Structure 1
Amino acid sequence: MSLASSPLSYADEGQWQPHQLPQLKAELKRIGITIPAEKLADLSKHPMSAMVSLGGCSASFVSDSGLVVTNHHCAYGAVQRNSTAEKNYISNGFLAKTRAEELPAGPDSRMYITDKVENVTEQVLSGTTPAMSGKQRHEHVQNRIKALIADCEQDKAYRCSVPSFHRGLEYYRIRQMMIRDVRLVYAPSDKIGNYGGDVDNFEWPRHTGDFSFLRAYVGKDGRPADPSADNVPYHSKDFLVVSAQGLKNGDPILLAGYPGTTSRYKLPEEIRFARDASYPARVAEYKSDLSVIAAATQGNANAEVRYASVAKSINNRLKKTEGLLAGFARKDIAAIKDAQDAEFRSWFSQHSADQSLLKELDAVIASDMALNEEEFAWSVATNSDLLKNARTLYRLALESSKPDAERKAGYQQRDVSFISARLARLEQSYVSNVDQARYTAALQRYNKLDSKFRPQGLDILLPTPESVAALYRQSELGNTATRLAWLKKDAAAFQQSDDAFIRLAVKLHDIGLSLEERRKEVDGNLERVIPQYMQAVIAWKKSQGKPVYPDANSTLRVTYGTVAPYSPRDGVSKGPFTTVEGIVEKHTGKTPFDAPESLLAAVKEKRYGVFKDNVLGTVPVNFLSSADTTGGNSGSAVMNKNSELVGLNFDSTYESITKDWYFDSAITRAIHVDIRYMLWVMKEVDHADNLLKEMTIRYPAK
C-alpha cells in the first residue's frame, strides 16, 4: 500500500514527507498558509530548496553566499573546538566581521542539501523470500541498499542514503549535496545562546537566544571540496527572506527540518519496556557519567572547555529521557495504546485471513527487547573514547580487506573520510585522566548489572576497574598523529600490537561481532513482520480518517501549526510569548542566569527600535506553537504563511516530550526563538552589522 493514499491530518499532528503535502491542501488553507502545497512538495523550489541538514540538526540558507542560520547548541561543537581557556568563545561569543575571520567548524562538520527523493521500495525488497532467515533477509536488503547508494554516489559531490519508512514498508533513496568546508561565522555568548542552561531546558517560560550562523564553502568551480583557504562561499540558489514583522497568537506557521526519530506506531509492550526498563537505565547511566566528568574536570579550565560539548550533549539526553518518564507517569500512554491495540486487533480479526501475523509480531518484538538489554550492557562496558576509537580502527582494518561492496555499511571507502574526521576531532574533546575516570566508573557500573543482561563471555575479557590506569599508560592512541596513523595499517598489525587499547579492541571484537550478528537476525525478522503490521495499521487508520505519516527518521519533513498557549495543569495557562523583560527578571549574575551587561543595558534603556512588538510593547524572545517536532528539528526554519523566516525551532515544553510516542494536541508545544530577538541581539548587543546587511530582512512598515 502506498503512502500516497494517506488521509488528511487532524489537529496539527504529523511530520509529513514533502511529497505528501498536496494531500493537505485543505488543512494548510484552514490554518491560513498561502504557499501552494505543490510548491512545498518541490525540493527544487522555494522554500524547500533553502533547507539544510547539519547531520543531527537542521538549518536554512539566509543569503545567496552560503550563510545558514541554526541553533546555538547545534553550532556549540564548532564554538567549543575553536575555544581555549584564554580565548573562550563559549562565554565571550564569536563574530567574524569579515569572511577571512570565519573559523573552521571542525573536520567532521558537514552541510547536506537534499535535492532528490525517489521511491526505491521495489528495488530494495526484490529477491527477498519468506524462506529467508532474519539474518539472510537483513543482509540481502542491506546489500541492495549499498548498491543503490553506490550507483547514486558516482558523482562524489553527493551523499546518498536509503532509509526505510514505516519500519520497512517503504524505502526512499535520498540524494544530498554534501558540503565539506563549513565555517563558524557568528555565535552569541552562551549567556545568550544558552541562557537558563539545563535548569530551563525543556521548560516554559523560556528566554534563550538559541541561534548561530555558519557558512558553506566550496571550490572555485562551485562544487564541494575539502577545506581550503582557496575555497569560496557556496552560491545558494535559494534562501529565506527574514521577516521582522512578527507573529501574534493564533497565526499560522510552517516548520521544515530533519526530525530524528519518533515511535508513534510502537506497541504497548515496547512502551512499557521503555518506561520500566530502558529509560530508567539510561537516566542512571547519564547521571553517573555526568558526575564523573564533573569531578574529573573540576578546577581544570582546559578540561572543562574540552568536555563542555560532551557534557551538554549528555545533559540534553538526560533531561529529555527524564521528561519522557515524567510524561509516562503523568499520562498512561501504555494504557492508551492498549485500547488502540485492542481496537486494531478486533478490526484486524475481521479484515485479515492471516491471523498468525500478530503472534509473530509479539514474538519478534520480545526478541528485540531482550537483545536491547545486552546491547545496553555492552555500551556501558565499552564507555571509553580511546576504546571506541581503537574498536573503530580495528573494524576498519578488517573490513578494508574485503571488496568495497561487501564491507559493513559505515566502513566502506565512502566512510573513511568521516572516520578520519572523528578520530581527529577527539583532540578537542579528550583529556586522558577524564576518559580514564569515565571508563573506570563505567566498568564499576557494568559489574553491578544483572548478569543475565551481560553478553555471554564478555566479563572475563574486560579489564578490572583497578587495572584501567595501566591501559592508559600503555597506549599511545591519545596522540592524534598516532591515532590517525592506524588508519593505514592492516588487521595483522593490530593483532600484533602492544598498545593496550588496540589489544583490548582485538580481544573484544568477537563479542561485539556476535552481538551484531544477533542484531541482524532480530532486525531481519522485524523488517519482515513489522511492514505487514504497518500495512494493516495504515488500512485501519485510513478507515477511521486518521493521519498516516511515517515516523521521523532524520529525513526532510514539514509540519505546521499555530502560535498557541497551553495549559499544563488545572488553573495554569502558559504562553505563547516571552520578552526581554523576562531575561532581566531571571538575571542573578550567576550561571545559568547571567545575562551580558550590554543586553541588560539595552533592555533598561528600552532600545527596542523596529523589533518592538506593538501588542507586547517590547521585544519578544521565544514563542510557542502547536507544530509537531522532535530531536533533530533543532534549528529548523519556522516560517510565516508567506514562507518568510520568523523563528528557529529549538526545544519542546517538558509536558510535550512524550510526543515522540503519542501526540497530545492539547499540551504538545514546540519552543522557538523569535527572529526579532535574534535580530535585536545582533544589532544592539553584538553589533553584527555585516550579517544584518547580508541578509534580506523585511522590516515592519513605519
Structure 2
Amino acid sequence: MFKTIVLPVALLGAAAGAMADEGQWQPHQLPQLKSELKRIGITMPAEKLADLSKHPMSAIVSLGGCSASFVSPDGLVVTNHHCGYGAVQRNSTPEKNYIVDGFLARTRAEELPGGPSSLVYVTEKVENVTDRVLKDLGPNLTGRQRNEAISSRIKALTAECESDKAYRCSVPAFHRGLEYYRIKQLMIRDVRLVYAPSDKIGNFGGDIDNYEWPRQTGDFTFLRAYVGPDGRPADPSPNNVPYKSKDFLVVSAEGLKNGDPILLAGYPGRTSRYKLPSEIRFARDVDLPGRVSTITADLDVIASATKGNAAWDVRYASVAKSLNNVLKKSQGLLDGFARKDIAAIKDVQDAEFRGWYGKNGKGSTLLADLDAVIAADMALSREEGAYAEATHSDLLRSARLMYRLAQERQKPDAERDAAYQERNLSFIKARVSGLDKSFVAQVDQARYAAALNRYAKIDQKLRPQGLDALLPNAANLASLYQTTELGDTNKRLAWIGKDVAAFQQSNDPFIQLAVRMNDVAKSLEERRKEVDGNLDRTIPQYMAAVIAYKKSQGKPVYPDANSTLRVTYGTVSPYSPRDGLVKGPFTTVEGIVEKATDKDPFLVPAALTEAVKAKRYGVFKDPVLNTVPVNFLSSADTTGGNSGSAVMNKRGELVGLNFDSTYESITKDWYFDTAITRAIHVDIRYMLWVMKEVDHADNLLKEMTIKYPKK
C-alpha cells in the first residue's frame, strides 16, 4: 500500500527566483521572473511574454517535433533546415536533388507540398486541468487501474476540447505527473516548402560538426501554412490560400554583440532534470551504451545496403540523418557523464533532500515506494528494448500498427487506446503511406536481419517471455520480403479499416508475424500500464516534496521539458571547455571558406565563396567583426525540440534561430552546468545575407518586415 504525503499548498508554487540562466519556463511563470529578465537587459514586459494571444508568443509555433515562427502575415514560417529536411527529401529525386541543389519558390504557385507529416500547430490556449485529471483517484487502485483512469479522463478532456475539428488538443503532464495542462492548438494541415538552401549551407559540416563548436551552418528553411478559402485548416488543395497569421516576428538585422540578452521561445522536447541517481546510472550504464551500439550497427547496415545506389541513398537520407543526430547526442551524454560524475552530484543532492524530507515527511513510505517503482520501471525497460530489436523492420511495424488499429476499432472510440482513436486516423495513414519515401525492401531486410542477430545476443533473462519462438530466422528473411505485398503503398493502405478476422486469415507473412506476436506485445503493454500507474501514483508525491524543498532554498522550480511552449533566456556568451581554451561567441563567413574542402560535408557553393572573397557584405557586416557572422553562442537553456526556436533580442525581434548545442552541453538534459552549457544559433544576418547574395531570394526578403542597421 502506498501512503500519500500531503505538503502545504504554499510550497508547491514556482520559485520566484531563478539561478543563472537555467530554466525552461511555462509562459505563465514569466511574471515571477521580472527581476531576472531585467537583470540580463530584457525590456519586454514579462506580462506580455506570458500572454499567448499577444506578440511575440502568438507568432511562435510548433511543427510537431521542431519549433518555428511566423515571419509574415501570409503564413510564412521560418525554421531549421534539418526540420524541413523531410519535405526537401520528399520532393527530391536523383534528377532534381533539392537536398544538394537547394530549392526556392519565386512564386506561391511554385511552392511544393511538404507531405502528410508536415504540420503547423498554433497554440491558442493553455489551462490547468490537474483537478479534473487526478481528483478522487482512490488509494486502492492498482497501477493499471490508475493508469487507465487517468488515460480515460485525459481522453474526455481532449474530446471536449476538440469539438471544433480545426483544433488539436493534448493534456500533457508537468512535474512528472504532479500537474496537467490542456493545450489547445490550431492544426494547419497544408504546409508547403518555400525555400531551402543547399545542404552545402544548411548542413555545412554535417555529422562531423554536429554538436561541435566552432560551427558555420546555415540551418534555416522557410515553409508556408495554407488553409481553406474560409480561413480554416483544410486538407492540401490547390484552392487553399496562405494562412493569415495573427502576429509575426519582425526580423532585426541590427545584430547582437557579446553579452547582449536574448529570449528564446519554442517547444523543447524532453529533459530529465529531476531524475534520481539510480535513473541516471541506468541511463549511463545500460540504456545509452545499448542505444549507441544499436544505432551504430544500424547506420553501418544502411550505408552498406545503399552504397552505389543514388535513389536508395536519397530515400534513406532523412533516416540516416535522424539516426546520426541521436547517435551523436547519445555518445555526447556518455562522454559528458564520464567527464563529470553527474550521478555522484545527484547522490549528494538526493542525500540532502532525503535528510530534509525525513524531518518534513514523517510517517511516509514515499521514498521506499519511490525506489521500488523506479526499479520496476528500469527492469521492464530492458525487456522493451529487447522487443524493439526483435521488431526492427518498417514492414513489421506497419503490419503491427494496422493490426492493432483493427483490434482497437472493435471498441467504442472513447474506450480505445488514445493512439488509435479516430482523431489519430489521419496520422496513422500518414505513417503508413509516408513509408514509400523512406523505404527499400532490400535495405529493410538487411536492417531486420542485423537486428535479429543483435537480439539473439541479448541475455535470455532480458527478453520478453515467449517471443523467441515467434521470430523468423535472420537467415530466412528473404522469403518474407519476396512474398509480402506490404511493400506496395496502395496495398499497405488497403489494410487500414479491415477487421481482425481479415488479419488473422491473411497469408501475408508480415501480417501473420504481427498476429503471432500480438499476445507478447499486449503483455508488455499491460505490464507497462501497471508500472506507469504506480509511477503516476508515487513520482508526483516525490515532485511535490522536491518543489517544496527547492523553494525553501530559493532555487528554480520549472517543469521538465515535455514538448510544450516554453521560454528561456540568456546572454550571448563564450565558454571555456577546458583550461586555457575559450570558445566563441561568434563564427564568421571567413570560417566557411577556411573549412572548405572538395569533399562532403565541407563543400561550399561557388556563389558563396565568391561573395566572401569579394567581401560583398553590405548591411549585414558586423561593425566589430568587420564581416558577416554565421553562428553564435548563448547561455539559454535548450534541448531537442528547440530546433528552429526563435532567438529574439531584448525587444522581441527575431535575431537568430536555435539549432544545436555544444558537445560539452549535451548533459544539460540531466544537469544544467552554467559554466559550459551553451546553445548554438544561426545569426539572422547570415541567413539574410545568403538569401540576398547567394540564392537571390528577393521575393522572401520583400515579404518579411526587416529592420536594418542605422547608417
- Give the TM-score, by structure 2 length: 0.98
Please point out which of 186, 209, 214 is paired with 2:218: 209
Deviation of 1:7 (Å): 2.9
State the SS of the aligned residue for 1:139.
Answer: helix
Please point out which of 561, 566, 572 is paired with 1:557: 566
**Matched AA of 1:622:** N
Q: What are the within-5 Å matches in structure 2 for residues 297-336 of structure 1?
A: 297-336=306-345
Q: What are the within-5 Å matches in structure 2 for residues 262-341 of structure 1?
A: 262-341=271-350
Q: What are the within-5 Å matches in structure 2 for residues 20-169 of structure 1?
A: 20-169=29-178
**Matched AA of 2:662:** T
- Aligned: 1:498 with 2:488: no
Residue 416 of structure 2 aligns with which residue?
407
Separation in structure 1 between the aligned mates of residue 302 and residue 410 of structure 2, nearest angstrom? 38
Deviation of 1:573 (Å): 0.2
1:593-626 deviations in whole A, cap 9, x for unaligned?
Answer: 0011110000000000000000000000000000
- Aligned: 1:387 with 2:396: yes
Bigger Cα displacement from structure 2, 281-290 vs 5-14: 5-14
Deviation of 1:6 (Å): 2.5
Deviation of 1:126 (Å): 2.1
Residue 254 of structure 2 aligns with which residue?
245
Deviation of 1:524 (Å): 0.3
| Equivalent residues of 2:75, 2:245 under 8 A apart | yes
- Aligned: 1:642 with 2:651: yes
**Matched AA of 1:469:** A
Please point out which of 663, 670, 673 is paired with 1:654: 663
Deviation of 1:205 (Å): 0.2
RMSD: 0.7
Deviation of 1:488 (Å): 2.1
Provide the aligned length of Structure 1 versus Structure 2. 702
Deviation of 1:422 (Å): 1.1
Residue 615 of structure 1 aligns with which residue?
624
Please point out which of 263, 272, 278 is paired with 1:254: 263
Separation in structure 1 between the aligned mates of residue 119 and residue 137 of structure 2, nearest angstrom? 35
State the SS of the aligned residue for 2:420.
Answer: coil
Residue 190 of structure 1 aligns with which residue?
199
Residue 491 of structure 2 aligns with which residue?
482
Please point out which of 482, 494, 516 is paired with 1:473: 482
Separation in structure 2 between the aligned mates of residue 539 and residue 194 of structure 1, nearest angstrom? 45
State the SS of the aligned residue for 1:359.
Answer: helix
Residue 6 of structure 2 aligns with which residue?
none
Separation in structure 2 between the aligned mates of residue 190 and residue 512 of structure 1, nearest angstrom? 40
1:117-145 deviations in whole A, cap 9, x for unaligned?
Answer: 00000000123111000000000000000
| Equivalent residues of 2:622, 2:629 under 8 A apart | yes
Separation in structure 1 between the aligned mates of residue 510 and residue 433 of structure 2, nearest angstrom? 17
Separation in structure 1 between the aligned mates of residue 207 and residue 38 of structure 2, nearest angstrom? 38
Deviation of 1:452 (Å): 1.1
Separation in structure 2 between the aligned mates of residue 187 and residue 229 of structure 1, nearest angstrom? 22
Unaligned runs of 5+ in 1: none
1:349-404 deviations in whole A, cap 9, x for unaligned?
Answer: 01112331100000000000000100111111101000000000000011011100
Deviation of 1:589 (Å): 1.7
**Matched AA of 2:546:** V
Separation in structure 2 between the aligned mates of residue 608 and residue 217 of structure 1, nearest angstrom? 34
Residue 359 of structure 1 aligns with which residue?
368
Separation in structure 2 between the aligned mates of residue 118 and residue 107 of structure 1, nearest angstrom? 29
Separation in structure 1 between the aligned mates of residue 118 and residue 611 of structure 2, nearest angstrom? 35
Separation in structure 1 between the aligned mates of residue 116 and residue 34 of structure 2, nearest angstrom? 42
| Equivalent residues of 1:4, 1:20 under 8 A apart | no
Deviation of 1:500 (Å): 0.7
Separation in structure 2 between the aligned mates of residue 13 and residue 354 of structure 1, nearest angstrom? 34
Deviation of 1:514 (Å): 0.5
Separation in structure 2 between the aligned mates of residue 694 and residue 510 of structure 1, nearest angstrom? 56
Unaligned runs of 5+ in 2: 1-8
Residue 437 of structure 1 aligns with which residue?
446
Q: What are the within-5 Å matches in structure 2 for residues 176-187 of structure 1?
A: 176-187=185-196
Please point out which of 663, 683, 693 is paired with 1:684: 693
1:153-182 deviations in whole A, cap 9, x for unaligned?
Answer: 000000000000011000000000000000
State the SS of the aligned residue for 1:156.
Answer: coil
Separation in structure 1 between the aligned mates of residue 17 and residue 508 of structure 2, nearest angstrom? 59
State the SS of the aligned residue for 1:410.
Answer: helix
- Give the TM-score, by structure 1 length: 1.00
Separation in structure 1 between the aligned mates of residue 47 and residue 84 of structure 2, nearest angstrom? 33
State the SS of the aligned residue for 2:68.
Answer: strand
1:564-616 deviations in whole A, cap 9, x for unaligned?
Answer: 00000000000000000000010012101001111000000000000000000
Separation in structure 2 between the aligned mates of residue 511 and residue 600 of structure 1, nearest angstrom? 58
Deviation of 1:81 (Å): 0.5
| Equivalent residues of 2:14, 2:556 under 8 A apart | no
Please point out which of 572, 580, 583 is paired with 2:589: 580
State the SS of the aligned residue for 2:517.
Answer: helix
Residue 374 of structure 1 aligns with which residue?
383
Q: Give percent identity, aligned residues only.
A: 75
Residue 170 of structure 1 aligns with which residue?
179
Bigger Cα displacement from structure 2, 529-538 vs 124-133: 124-133
| Equivalent residues of 1:134, 1:521 under 8 A apart | yes
Write out the 4+ residue segments of structure 1 that deviate beyond 2 Å after TM superposition.
Answer: 1-7
